[in-house]
Structure formats: structure tokens, C-alpha cells
Structure 1
Amino acid sequence: MKPSSERFEGVGMLRGIAALLVLYAHLGAQEMDREGATSVVVVTIRTYVTRPLNIIEDFGWFGVCLFFLISGFVITHSIQRETRVAFAVRRMLRLYPPLFFAAGVTILVGLGLRDRALPPLATWVSTLTLAGVPVNTPPFLGVEWTLFVEIKFYLLTLLVAPLLRSRPVLAYLLQAAFLCFVIYYVRAFKGAIFVPAISMYLAVYLLFGQIAYFAYMGRTSLAVSVGLALINYVICVYGMYQIEPNRDLAHNSQIVSLFYCMALFYGALYLKGLTIPTPLRFFEKISYSLYLLHGVVGIPAMRLAAPYVPNYELRFLIGLGAGTLAAWISYHLIEVRSIDVAKRLTSGQRLPASRQNLAPTEQPV
């Protein structure tokens, strides 16, 4: 099935939802635990939603998993119509400028509150290059680990770009085989290589989004798509046992949330005539900056308000407002401009229509 003319509105809606879920996990549930505070809202959600449904990390992993599915889908879509140069330039200018801005805000907040020393050079290099090489210091932003995964998936996409346009099944199998190789040898990767190897393994979750793209665009039949998804599932489980052999999969499984996310993703993908509510449209636009900055700005705002605002729910709203404002500034000051620069730099880098595998009137994501 190839859609005639759309912008994947359901996928855009999920991007906003994913950002809010991660924000709730960090500023709501997990910050409450760190403070030793109580919240009727958090306790109710845990009692009636996350624990009965075995949703781990208070929707934190759920939101991240949604982001991975969305990225796998959208990135596979982008490589259908962009040259490798255009793809690389656009991804770099999409990821790095907001990351640099968030790093600067992190330093300023830490210096202003005098609760965070300047990180060592190794931490700067690891975070700001997205190399993901571990150092013996706390994480810089705290959420950059998912970007380590994203950048590795982008590299895989670049390597198999021609096959993704012409032979999608073979492209998937080559990527999957490489990830299996990494998983098999991950314990042999000592020291600084171990964490990047894990980041590479987690790219298997983005491959679920890629498989969804193949099915949705009619690049593979339903039977083939289901077969690829089953292979990917086996790789996920294999990776869990190989990389985290002591994980209690019965009570702490990423796979459970993955199934929920896939059901939500496919449901949203096939919704027709969807109009995204204005608040979700807003959070969709600022989702990347919000992901980077919600903890950097929101958590300090909540802690500063704690002596004056005893109600935890109100402090959460303060953190939400502060993080959202910072993300809105980053979006308009950095993201919009860097995306515009990327479009200008790559204006002549679109693939000829004969080499694209898109519906004739399809619009970009």
C-alpha cells in the first residue's frame, strides 16, 4: 500500500506524546522518588497503569522506544529521496546544533546553581561528538545515550542506502547480520568499546520502524514484513540475554513496552484524516529540544521551588513550564535556523525521481 498524499500525521502526533512521556518519567515519577516526595497522580498511575501492564521506568523507556520507532520509519523515508551527502548534512545539522545549545545551558545552569563542576574534556568529546565512549564521570546531559544509538543507525542507513531504495529485504538482512555480529562479540569489546557496542545493538529497535516503513509503503508484502519483524524480535531477545544476562525479564523487560509501542505506532500510522490537537502539535515541534532540556532546566526549577511550593504536582508543573520554555527558545533560536541552513546547503542534492521509491504526490515528513 502506498499512500497518495500525506505527511504521516499520526507519526508526528506520537513524537509529541513520546516527549511528554519521557518528561513525565524524569520530572514526575523519578524526581519524586529522588526527593522522597509523594504524588497522588504518580501513585495512581503506578497502581493502575504501569505496574499491572509491566511498563518499566514509569513510561521512560516507553517514550524512548516510541522515538526509536519513529526515527527508524522517518530516516528510512528520508534516504529514499536524499543523496548520501544531503542525508548526512541534514542529520548532522538536525542533531548537533540543539545538542551544543543544550550543553551550553547545562554548563550555565550548573555554574549558576554551583552544583555541577565543569565536565572533563573526555566527557565533552564523548557527548558533543555522540561517540558514546564512556568516561568515569556522570553523564553530561543524562539523555544523550539515545543519541549515541541514533547516530549509529544513521551510519547503518548510509551504508546500505542504495539497497534500501532497491532491495529493502536484503538491506534489512545486512543490517541485522551486522547487529548480530556486534551482539555476539559484545563481551569481547572491553573498556571504551563496550558502551558503543551496546548502543549499536539498540539500533535493532529502530529497525522495527524501518520494517514498518517497508510494509506501509508497499515495499514488502505483509507476510514478508511479519517475517522480518519476527527476526528482529529474536535479535532483540538475543541481545538482552547476551548483553544483560542478569536482567529480570519477567518483571523488567523492554520488550513488553516495545509491543505496546508497536501497537500504538501502527494504530497512529493508519489513522486517516487525523488532525493533531494544537498542544500535541506544539510539543511535536519542540520535541527534540524538550528531550534535551527538560531535565537540565526543569529539575533545577523544581528543586528551587521546593522550599516555597510544598505540593509536588505544582512543582512538577513548574518544571514542565521551565523545561518547555527552554525548549521553545532552543527550537526557535537553534532548530529552525539549522534546519533552514541544511535545506539551503542540500537544495541540489535530491535524488532523481527515477531513483526514488515514493508515491507520486507524497510530501516530506
Structure 2
Amino acid sequence: MSTVIPPLPVRDGIPSPQPDRRDGGGRGPRRPRLYVLDGLRLIAALSVVGFHWAGVNLHPEVWGQKPKTLMPTVNAVASYGWTGVQLFFLISGFVICMSCWGRSPREYFVSRVIRLYPAYWFAVIATALVVNYAVTVRPSRKPLSISDVLTNLTMLQRPLWVPEVDGVYWTLWVELRFYLLFAVVAVMGLTYRRVLAFCGIWTIIAVITPYTEIGLLDLLFLPNDAPYFIAGVALYLVYRFGMNPMLLGVIGFSWLLAQNRMHNTLGAYRHEVGFDLSWKVTAGLSAVFFLVMLAAATGVFDRIQWKWLTVAGALTYPVYLLHQEMGWAMIRWGRDHGITPFPLLAMCLAAILLLSWLVHRIVERPLSAWLKRMLDSRTLSLPKLDPPVRRR
């Protein structure tokens, strides 16, 4: 039997927070954990895995021939798997706003460091070993220097013009820039008005940035990806404060911009898949992502309380970090040993999931806990200064 939540009080046009927040504040029951977000993250990660393993025709040396020749039906579907990145960005906008609300800027910084770096450091080192010393997957891929690997550990290899250990890491540079932008409003303190103003101002700047031809603006304000992050932030406002016409307008307007920017994105992925991709399909998938996230924010999926989704969500980040170069190496090895495509795909997926679980348990969790202790404000304090010496 579902609980009916009374209408939210509105003061000066601003809705009060949902009374059933998970932090226990206010009246009414707590809303359950959004397990569906963990499931959506897994779907996004697996779609990107499918794209790189079966949708990309740019590297026929992985399979010995182009996937569209080897498995045409799978390739046709997997060629749209890159849209999982857009779903990731939507979820990221939602989750960052949720995890930052009520926290200090320091807590916001610490939460991002301990979330991003432990698994990433392992992935950089492990992938570099595969690229440099494992089976040769792509003859065009040059070995990585020690300096390249060390620079990749900063996650700032793109602005430093250093080759990425794994090509999928480009999205992390996008995420870092979003975190930087959101930190501005986080420092001021998150309120409904400020976050909504942030969404509006960022939307305007992202729209006009391409016409300014100023590279710095393009770098900072992410005109192609901004609509997804902005919509994700607005969706969290829906989750926290309830639906209203203003938030629905922000989300709908963001999708309109997203479908327009999709034309720019398609060009890059056409190069990788080797044929024209349908704007209708990609825009339709984007619309589905927006609608599913809106349903999650409004409580449609609150009944989904499958505990295993928490584990699935925890595996998502390691899967994303490890799957491309390592996956290609495994595919090449399996092909050389005569394993047919579909059993090989299943074996590679099982191996990546197992490795990701091990990374989460053995590397990510203990290293994150250690980093948190190191960065905790209670353990890091300013050095004590000697009292000034008074002159007589």
C-alpha cells in the first residue's frame, strides 16, 4: 500500500523540501534508496562496453575483421552503445547534486577524490601493463612511457597533451570540469534558488559559447554535454522538492538542446563505426533516458528495492575504466585460440565483471577509506605556529 504525500507548501514561489527525504528531516516516512540509479549506471556501462567490443569497426585487428562483417546484427545494435555516456552524464548531474547537498566544500572535494581516484589509479597501471607488455592488439598503438603513465595518474592528461592510457578516460576530463563548475555554487551553499539559477546561467552560456569561438569558454562550459548535466541537476531538484512547471521546463529545454547537439556528436562516432548513424535513433534514446530519469526522480521506481543493484552500481566504475584496452586484448587472445565470437564476448564480460568486483573489494574500498581518513578535516590540521616573540 503506497503512502500519499501531502502537497508541498510553497513560500515565495519556492517549494519546501520533500518531507520524506532519506536524511530523516521533516515529517512523513523516508523515501527509499534509489536503487534504480545503480541499475541505470550498470546499463549505461554495459552499453558502452558493447559499443567498444562489438560496435567499433575502426580497429579490425581486434577481431581479425570488422565486427559489422563478423556479426552484423550485433554490430548494428552495439553501434549506438556510446549513448550510454549521455546517460552517465544525466545520472552524474543528479548524484553530484544529491551527494553535495548539505555538505561543506571540503566534504564535497573529499567525496569526489575518494570516489574517482582509487579505482582509477589501479586501472591506469593495469591497463598500461596490458598496452605495453600484453598481446599486441593494435600495432598502431605506441607503448606508453613512464612519464605518460605517471601523468595519467593525475587524471589531467588531456589538458597536459599527454596520450591517455585508455581512450575511455576522455569522459573523466568532462566530469572533472562539471565538478569544477558545480563547486562554484557548492561554495556559496546549495539552495533551491541558487541551484536553479546555476542551471539557467549555465544553459545560456553553453548555448552562446560555440558562437564566440573562444576556446576557453568551450573548455569550461561543455556546450555539447552541458544539457545532460543540467537536466540531471534539475532532476535532483524534482526528487528533493517535487515537480513544478519551472523544473519540468528546465528538463524539457535541456533535452531540446541535447537533441540539437547530437548532430555534432554523431560525426565523431560515425568515424568509429564506419557508417552513418541515425539521428532519430540517438534522439529517441536520449528522450528515453530523460523520461526514465524523470520517472525515477518522481518515485515511479521506488518499489524497486533489489539489494544486488547496490553491488551492480559499485562495479560500474571499474567496468568502465577497465573494459576497453583490456577487453580488446582478451578478444584478441580468445580469437587467436579459436573461440567463436559470442562465447568469447560472454567470457570477456564475465572476466571484466569479476576483475571489477575484485578491484572494488580489494583496491577501491580500502584505499577510499584510507584516503578519507587522510583528507578528513579532523586529522589534517594546520601546523601550530609559535607565538610571536615580544620585543622588549
Classify the TM-score, shorter chain: 0.7 to 0.9
* In 2, Cα distance between equivalents of 1:29 and 1:290: 17
Q: Please name the residue that 1:142 is paired with.
A: 167
Check if 1:109 corresponds to 2:130.
Answer: yes
| Selected match of 1:297 from 302, 320, 326 | 326
1:362 corresponds in structure 2 to: none
Q: Which moved more, 1:12-21 or 1:333-342?
A: 333-342
Answer 1 or 2: which has greater helix percent: 1
RMSD: 3.6
Identify which of 173, 180, 183 aligns with 2:210: 183
| Higher Rg of the two aligned structures | 2
**Does the C-alpha gap of structure 1 residues 291 and 247 become closer, same or farther in structure 2, counting only changes over 3 Å?**
closer
Q: 2:39 aligns with which of 7, 10, 13?
A: 13
CA-CA distance at 1:25 after TM superposition: 1.7
Instruction: Percent identity, please.
Output: 22
Counterpart of 2:112 in structure 1: which amino acid?
R
Residue 72 of structure 1 is matched in structure 2 by 93
1:256 to 284, 305, 315: 284
Deviations 1:105-126 (A, max 9, x none): 1111123226451148468536
**CA–CA distance in 2 between the matches of 1:39 and 1:335?**
36
SS, match of residue 76 in structure 1: helix
The one of 118, 130, 133 equivalent to 1:97 is 118
Deviation of 1:258 after TM superposition, in Å, equals 1.5
Give how far 1:234 is off: 4.5
Change (3 A) 1:40 1:313: farther
Unpaired stretches in structure 2, ≥5 consecutive residues: 1-7, 9-17, 21-29, 137-141, 271-275, 379-392
1:226 to 248, 252, 263: 248
8 Å contact kept, 1:299–1:319: no
CA distance change for structure 1 residues 42 and 29 in 2, over 3 Å: closer, same or farther?
Answer: farther
Name the SS for the 2:33 alignment partner: coil
Matches within 5 A, 1:123-142: 125=151, 128-130=154-156, 132-133=158-159, 135=161, 137=163, 139-142=164-167
1:279-290 matched pairs, under 5 angstroms = 280-290=309-319
**In 2: Cα distance, 1:199 partner to 1:338 partner:** 31
How many residues align structurally? 334
Q: Which has the higher contact order (CA 8 A, sep 6+)?
A: 1
Aligned to 2:190: 164
Match of 2:335 in 1: 306
> CA separation in 1, counterparts of 2:49 and 2:102?
33
Partners in 2 of 1:79 and 1:289 — Cα distance? 22
TM-score scaled by length of structure 1: 0.77
Q: Partner letter of residue 350 of structure 2? A: G
CA distance 1:297–1:183, change in 2 (3 Å):
same
The counterpart of 1:274, out of the listed 290, 300, 304, is 304
Equivalence map 1:25-44=2 (5 Å):
25-30=51-56, 34=60, 35=63, 36=65, 43-44=72-73
Residue 180 of structure 2 aligns with an amino acid whose one-letter code is L
Tell me the distance in 1 between the aligned counterparts of 2:150 and 2:130. Answer: 16
**1:16/1:281 contact within 8 Å kept:** no
Unaligned runs of 5+ in 1: 51-55, 350-365
Residue 104 of structure 2 aligns to which amino acid in structure 1?
Answer: T
Q: Does 1:87 align with 2:103?
A: no
The answer to whether the Cα contact below 8 Å between 1:133 and 1:196 also exists between their aligned partners in 2 is: no
- SS at 1:160 equivalent: helix
